[in-house]
Structure 1
Amino acid sequence: MSGLTCSDGSAAAGEQLAGSAPEAVAWVALEQNGPWGAKAFTDSHLDPDLGRRVEAAAAAFGVRPSLVRRPGRHADAAARAGGRLGPGADPRHVLVAYTHPTGPWLLEGTLDDPARLLDLDWEALAVGDAEAVRRSLPVLARTDRPQLLVCTNGTRDVCCATKGRPVALGAAAAHPGQVWEVTHTSGHRFAPTTVLLPAGTLHGRLDVAAACEVLQAAERGETVLPGSRGRSTWAGPAQVAELAVRDVAGVLGLDALRVVTHDATGERRWSTLVAHDDGRTWRVETESRDAEVERAESCGKALKPLTYFTHLVETSLVRR
Structure 2
Amino acid sequence: MTPTSRFFCSDAARSRDDPLAGTAPYGSTWILVEYRGGWPPNGFDGLPLEPDTKRLVFSAAQALRARILLIRRHGRRPADGPPCWAVLRYGDDGAHRQTWGTWTRDEDLVGIVDALAAPGAPGGPPVVLVCAHGLHDACCAVRGRPVGRALSERWPDLVWECTHIGGDRFAANVVVAPDGVYYGNLDAASSVEVVGEHLADRVHAAHLRGFTNLVPAQQTAVAAVLGRFGPAGRHHYVIEETVRDSDRWLVRVTGRTPRSPVHDIEVRSYRTPARQLTCRGLSVSSAVVYEAVFRR
TM-score, normalised relative to structure 1: 0.81
For residue 206 of structure 2, give the secondary structure of its aligned residue in structure 1. Answer: coil
1:109 correspondence with 2:100 = yes
Distance in 1 between the 2:48 and 2:191 partners?
Answer: 29
1:50 correspondence with 2:53 = yes
Pairs within 5 Å for 1:154-193: 154-193=134-173
CA contact (8 A) 2:87 2:115 kept: no
CA contact (8 A) 1:34 1:74 kept: no
Greater shift after overlay, 273-282 or 200-209? 273-282
- RMSD after superposition: 2.5
Pairs within 5 Å for 1:193-212: 193-212=173-192
Letter in 2 for 1:111: T
Letter in 1 for 2:25: P
Distance in 2 between the 1:162 and 1:47 partners?
Answer: 32
Q: 1:67 to 1:288 in 2, by over 3 A?
A: same
Matched length: 286
CA contact (8 A) 2:36 2:72 kept: yes
Distance in 1 between the 2:50 and 2:244 partners?
Answer: 41
Q: Report what 1:18 is aligned to.
A: 21
1:37 pairs with 37, 40, 51, which one? 40
Q: 1:50 to 1:42 in 2, by over 3 A?
A: farther
CA contact (8 A) 2:237 2:256 kept: yes
Letter in 2 for 1:121: L
Letter in 2 for 1:285: E
Shift of 1:76: 10
Greater shift after overlay, 170-179 or 33-42? 33-42
Letter in 1 for 2:139: C
Q: Report what 2:290 is aligned to.
A: 309
Distance in 2 between the 1:200 and 1:99 partners?
Answer: 10
1:219 correspondence with 2:199 = yes
- Percent same amino acid among aligned pairs? 28
Letter in 1 for 2:253: V
Q: 1:154 to 1:76 in 2, by over 3 A?
A: farther
Pairs within 5 Å for 1:1-320: 4-73=7-76, 90-98=82-90, 100=92, 102-112=93-103, 113-122=108-117, 132-134=118-120, 142-143=123-124, 145-266=125-246, 268-279=247-258, 280=260, 281-292=262-273, 295-301=275-281, 302-315=283-296
CA contact (8 A) 1:213 1:224 kept: no
For residue 245 of structure 2, give the secondary structure of its aligned residue in structure 1. Answer: strand
TM-score, normalised relative to structure 2: 0.87
CA contact (8 A) 2:172 2:187 kept: yes
Distance in 1 between the 2:51 and 2:36 partners?
Answer: 14
Unaligned 5+ segments in structure 1 are 78-88, 123-131, 135-139, 316-320
Q: Report what 1:83 is aligned to.
A: none
Residue by residue over 1:78-117, the C-alpha shift from the partner in whole angstroms, topping out at 9 and shown as x without a partner, is: xxxxxxxxxxx734142513165x4231425233422211
Shift of 1:238: 1.2
For residue 120 of structure 1, give the secondary structure of its aligned residue in structure 2. Answer: helix
Distance in 1 between the 2:210 and 2:56 partners?
Answer: 28
For residue 295 of structure 1, give the secondary structure of its aligned residue in structure 2. Answer: coil
Greater shift after overlay, 171-180 or 269-278? 269-278
For residue 41 of structure 1, give the secondary structure of its aligned residue in structure 2. Answer: helix
Residue by residue over 1:208-257, the C-alpha shift from the partner in whole angstroms, topping out at 9 and shown as x without a partner, is: 22222233112211113211100111111111111112122324222101
